[in-house]
């Protein structure tokens, strides 16, 4: 027999792990009697398994010891343990048995640890999801609050609505403006205006006594009212031009996008 | 349930101690095999009466009642580290066998590995562990 190949096949490990059929087991037992190398290898495998299982071992509940000892002492005939003739041999095997049994308990415990880890992961996911939902809710809520304010302005009769229509350069542009002459507040609502390059901004002008007065700069913002600078009473016309970022003191008339006259109600 | 198994194992060892033959291996090995078989028998019979299924031990060991939970000590972390030092395929067979209670045949069938491969991987794993554990 090729002892090396026999060992390399892993059959001794399977033997130690109790994985062989009765015939295979008998065969291995016959071989280990015959070949000292196999015997040596078997002992090494057994020691490895013992060390491994001790790593897995956990302490059983101390009270179990009494329960088991009382069950063992009940049978009428006492038993002798044949493998060890040293005086305290019985305690040796009892200690070893405790380790063996603890190893089994660890089968369950280790698996349980895995499940616990999974639950933790699931919990972390749920917390993250929950935070996301809360965040979304806040975003929606803020948006709703703002829309409510906008609606209040639009519905408020103190505000005069000025429709700003597209000029020849931008016929499709359209915006509305809400102006409260008493409080001077001005809000702008963009319906349709083109995107600007990063160097440019829109600028709103109020024409008062025939002169353009700066009413603030703004970027393209849709879906809500934009608060502009206050405009004092007397404005007859509003217009929007495209100016370099930050705005200018006087409008560039060639870039006028929308304009509209105040219709006194 | 683990404690029930533990009691049963002690009683079985006590009953069968006469049949232990030191020529065939260490006492520890003999006891481990009794303990393993007892644990497997227990999980199987229990689950069988519950939902009439047999055959897949993986299903059983993954369904353990909360009352059977036993806190693992610091040693378990050492065990994790130890197993992580094995190549993945070897770690796999060791975990399935020693922690999940699979037999080699069950590993072979369930994960579609030839039985010979399971055996040689187990062999390589045990050799590596020998080096790691015996310092």
For residue B76, what pLDDT is reported? 62
Question: What is the C-alpha to C-alpha distance for residues A8 and A29, in angstroms, rounded to an integer?
Answer: 17
Q: Which residues contact A262 (CB under 8 A, 6 or more apart)?
A: A160, A162, A179, A235, A236, A237, A238
Strands (E), A167-246: 174-180, 186-192, 200-208, 211-218, 226-228, 235-244
135 residues of chain B, pLDDT tens digit each: 677 778 888 888 888 888 888 888 888 888 888 888 888 777 777 654 544 444 444 444 443 333 344 444 445 667 888 888 899 999 999 988 888 888 899 899 989 889 999 999 999 999 999 988 876
The mean pLDDT of A36-65, rounded to a whole number, is 85
What's the maximum distance between 2 C-alpha atoms anywhere in chain A?
123
A 89-118 near B (Cβ less than 8 A): 93, 96-97, 99-113, 115
- When the pLDDT of each residue in chain A is averaged and rounded to a whole number, the result is 85
Do B98 and A9 count as a contact with CB atoms less than 8 A apart?
A: no
Residues of chain B with Cβ-Cβ distance to A10 below 8 Å are 116, 118-123
Q: By CA distance, what is B79's nearest residue in A?
A: A55
Do A58 and B101 count as a contact with CB atoms less than 8 A apart?
A: no
pLDDT band of A240, cuts 50, 70, 90? very high
Do B64 and A29 count as a contact with CB atoms less than 8 A apart?
A: no
Which long-range contacts link A152-159 to residues 24+ away (Cβ below 8 Å)? A153/A178, A153/A187, A153/A225, A154/A178, A154/A225, A156/A180, A158/A182, A158/A183, A159/A185, A159/A187
Gap from A82 CA to chain B (nearest CA, Å): 7
**Does any CB of chain A come closer than 8 Å to the CB of residue B89?**
no
**Does any CB of chain A come closer than 8 Å to the CB of residue B126?**
yes
Range in A11-15, A64-68, A86-90 the model is least confident about: A86-90
pLDDT band of A53, cuts 50, 70, 90? confident
**Does any CB of chain B come closer than 8 Å to the CB of residue A52?**
yes
Q: By CA distance, what is B71's nearest residue in A?
A: A109
Do B27 and A67 count as a contact with CB atoms less than 8 A apart?
A: no
**Does any CB of chain B come closer than 8 Å to the CB of residue A213?**
no
Residues of chain A with Cβ-Cβ distance to B20 below 8 Å are 82-83
Gap from B108 CA to chain A (nearest CA, Å): 12
For residue B65, what pLDDT is reported? 37
**Does any CB of chain B come closer than 8 Å to the CB of residue A82?**
yes
**Does any CB of chain A come closer than 8 Å to the CB of residue B113?**
no
Q: Which residues contact A12 (CB under 8 A, 6 or more apart)?
A: A28, A38, A41, A42, A45, B123
pLDDT greater than 60 at residue A261: yes
**Does any CB of chain A come closer than 8 Å to the CB of residue B132?**
no
pLDDT greater than 50 at residue A141: yes
Range in A76-80, A202-206, A232-236, B130-134 the model is least confident about: A76-80
What pLDDT, in 10s, does the model give residues A22-32?
999 999 999 99
- Terminal-residue alpha carbon distance, chain B: 36
Of A236 and B39, the one with more pLDDT = A236
Do B134 and A9 count as a contact with CB atoms less than 8 A apart?
A: no
**Does any CB of chain B come closer than 8 Å to the CB of residue A183?**
no
In percent, the amount of chain A with pLDDT more than 90 equals 52
What pLDDT, in 10s, does the model give residues A146-190?
889 899 999 999 999 999 999 998 999 999 999 999 999 999 999
pLDDT band of A263, cuts 50, 70, 90? confident
């Amino acid at each position: 027999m090729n002892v090396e190949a026999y060992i390399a096949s892993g059959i001794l490990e399977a033997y130690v792990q109790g994985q062989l059929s009765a015939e295979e087991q008998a065969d291995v037992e016959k071989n280990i009697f015959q070949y000292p190398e196999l015997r040596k290898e078997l002992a090494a495998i057994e020691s490895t398994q013992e060390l491994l299982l001790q790593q897995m071992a956990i302490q059983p509940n101390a009270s179990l010891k009494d329960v088991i000892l009382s069950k063992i002492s009940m049978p009428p005939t006492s038993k002798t343990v044949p493998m060890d003739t040293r005086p305290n041999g019985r305690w040796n095997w009892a200690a070893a048995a405790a380790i063996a049994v603890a190893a089994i308990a660890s089968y369950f415990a280790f698996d349980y640890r895995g499940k616990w880890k999974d639950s933790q992961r699931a919990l972390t996911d749920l917390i993250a999801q929950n935070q996301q939902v809360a965040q979304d809710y806040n975003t929606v809520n803020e948006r709703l609050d703002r829309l409510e304010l906008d609606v209040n302005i639009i519905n408020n009769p103190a505000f005069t609505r000025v429709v700003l229509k597209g000029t020849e350069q931008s016929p499709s542009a359209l915006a509305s403006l809400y102006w409260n002459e008493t409080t001077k507040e001005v809000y702008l609502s963009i319906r349709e205006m083109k995107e600007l390059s990063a160097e440019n901004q829109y600028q709103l002008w109020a024409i008062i006594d025939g002169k353009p007065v700066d009413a603030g700069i703004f970027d393209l913002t849709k879906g809500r009212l934009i608060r502009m600078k206050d405009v004092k009473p007397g404005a007859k016309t509003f217009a929007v031009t495209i100016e370099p970022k930050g705005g200018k003191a006087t409008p560039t008339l060639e870039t006028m996008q929308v304009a509209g006259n105040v219709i006194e109600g | 349930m683990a404690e029930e198994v533990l009691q049963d194992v002690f009683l079985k060892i006590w009953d069968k101690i006469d049949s232990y033959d030191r020529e065939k291996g260490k006492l520890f090995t003999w006891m481990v095999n009794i303990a393993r078989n007892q644990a497997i028998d227990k999980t199987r019979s229990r689950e069988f009466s519950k939902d009439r299924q047999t055959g897949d031990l993986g299903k059983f060991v993954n369904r353990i009642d909360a009352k059977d939970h036993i806190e693992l000590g610091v040693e378990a972390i050492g065990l994790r580290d130890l197993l992580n030092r094995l190549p993945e395929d070897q770690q796999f067979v060791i975990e399935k066998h020693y922690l999940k209670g699979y037999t080699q045949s069950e590993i072979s069938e369930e994960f579609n590995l030839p039985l010979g491969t399971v055996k040689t991987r187990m062999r390589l794993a045990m050799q590596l562990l020998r080096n790691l554990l015996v310092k």
